[in-house]
Amino acid sequence: MKRSSWKEYQKEIADDRYYYARSCIRQNFFPGSEAAFLDIMRNDLGKDVLDDPLHTSCTGIGYHSDIVPLETIMTVVARQFALMTAAGYENFTSSCITSFGIYTEILETWHEFPETEARTRENLFKATGREFRIPRNIAHTSDVIFHNREQIAARMVHPLMNVETGAPLKGVEHIGCHYAKIFPKSGIGGSEFPYVLAGMIEAWGGEVVDYPERRHCCGFGFRNYLVQANRGYSVANSQKKFASMAPYRPDFIVCNCPGCAMFLDKWQYTIAEMEGVTYGPNGRGIPVITYEEMAGLVLGYDPWQLGMQMHQVDVEPLLDKMGVKYDPDAKYLGNNGKLIGKPEQAVVNCCSQERTYEVRQ
């Protein structure tokens, strides 16, 4: 594929001094990712990132589930900006794709309809006495990592290459609907050929897999998942993607969005249980990682410090290919050395399926 159109979609990404907004759900499912972002930015790259304990959820999940009104979420977002302003920062970066979509949508709304911004300012002041400035720069944290991908490459310990064969590892990148499908201009590479994760993979020695259902939603879709009766629809969307990518034999899936990473990881387990089908080699699932975890592995971080023991699909096959050293016995030991609990062997990892996905040669 002549994938060059991403170059037409460029955006300004601040170089330093970020106000960091966390995700609501990431710390539960991929608990090391946000910590890894802070470590990489501060310790490896020497950047100033403020992790402010005063900030809250953007309430995006509630907004997309129709239980948080637009006026409310605009005021919550305004409060985040007010905290950033009060802390003396101008560059806002969010960990969550849905939050990023919320911020870009609200900023665009305020731009198009200034009266809504004025009303939000009034609401915020009445409720909290706070005032805010519009961020000078707004970026998703993957944008920030993308912006620094060459500096990370310069410190690379484990490139995205098979240590035995020297071949680039094949990565499926999944961007998440709210990154650039709302406003193509807000994402690196636009919405059709996003490059934010692809750029990282390529910069760190890997190869991007382009497969037919690359653009397809992971199936989270909020109501698809939050309404229990709709969950089959959510699984079906993920299944479509797995079936489409499997023939390319990807070594890993890297996700931009907290929800996507969770669903592409956990639905593999669900499908293995329901259908007896797995999509990776040897009857296993395809490891799903976040871009912070990918950056952390490349930089030589310990996979268990990155929280990768919390993944549903075991990441060891990927670690082995990259030549990452890890202690299997330490996998379920917490920071204090105590066992955090070891899960039962999952069917998606134990190669015992009756039927595995028929990978084309």
Residues of this chain that interact with other proteins (CB under 8 A) are: 1-5, 190-193, 210-215, 247-248, 360
**Calpha distance 96→256 (Å, rounded):** 8
Q: Residue 94 or 356: which CB sits closer to other proteins?
A: 356
Amino acid at 145: I
Which residue matches tokens 């309404």?
A: 227
| CA distances for 175 relative to 59, 77, 84, 260, angstroms | 21, 23, 26, 8
Rounded least distance, CB 1 to other proteins, Å: 6
Q: Residue 120 CB, nearest distance to other proteins (Å)?
A: 28
Of 121 and 181, the one with the shorter C-beta distance to other proteins is 181
Whole-number Cα distances in Å, 58 to 37, 63, 260, 323: 19, 9, 18, 39
- Given the complex with other proteins, which of 165 and 361 has the nearer CB atom? 361
Of 18 and 179, CB closest to other proteins: 179
Tokens at 317, concatenated:
């096959």
CB of 243 to other proteins, least distance (A): 11
Residues 101-104: contacts with CB within 8 Å, 24+ apart? 101/60, 101/177, 101/178, 101/179, 101/182, 102/58, 102/60, 102/63, 102/73, 102/77, 102/178, 103/58, 103/77, 103/138, 104/138, 104/182, 104/183, 104/186
Nearer of residues 1 and 339 to other proteins, judged by Cβ: 1
Compute the least distance from the CB of residue 353 to other proteins, in Å.
Answer: 22
- Tokens 């990768």 found at: 308
Helix, strand or coil for residue 290? strand
| Closest approach of other proteins to the CB of residue 2, in Å | 5
Instruction: Tell me how far, at minimum, the Cβ of 177 lies from other proteins, in Å.
Output: 14
210 or 273: whose CB is closer to other proteins? Answer: 210
* Nearer Cβ to other proteins (247/276): 247
- Give Rg (Cα) of the chain: 20
Question: Shortest distance, CB of residue 319 to other proteins, whole angstroms?
Answer: 27
Distance of alpha carbon 293 from alpha carbon 89, whole angstroms: 26
Dist. CA 298–CA 328, nearest whole Å: 19
Q: How far is the CB of 349 from other proteins (least distance, A)?
A: 26
10 vs 352, beta carbon nearer other proteins: 10
Min. distance of Cβ 339 from other proteins in angstroms? 43
Strand arrangement, sheet containing 288-290: 207-208, 170-174, 252-255, 288-290
CA distance 223 to 229: 10
Question: Cβ closer to other proteins: 72 or 244?
Answer: 244
Amino acid letter, residue 215 = R
The C-alpha angle with vertex 292 and arms to 286 and 298, in degrees rounded to 5, equals: 80
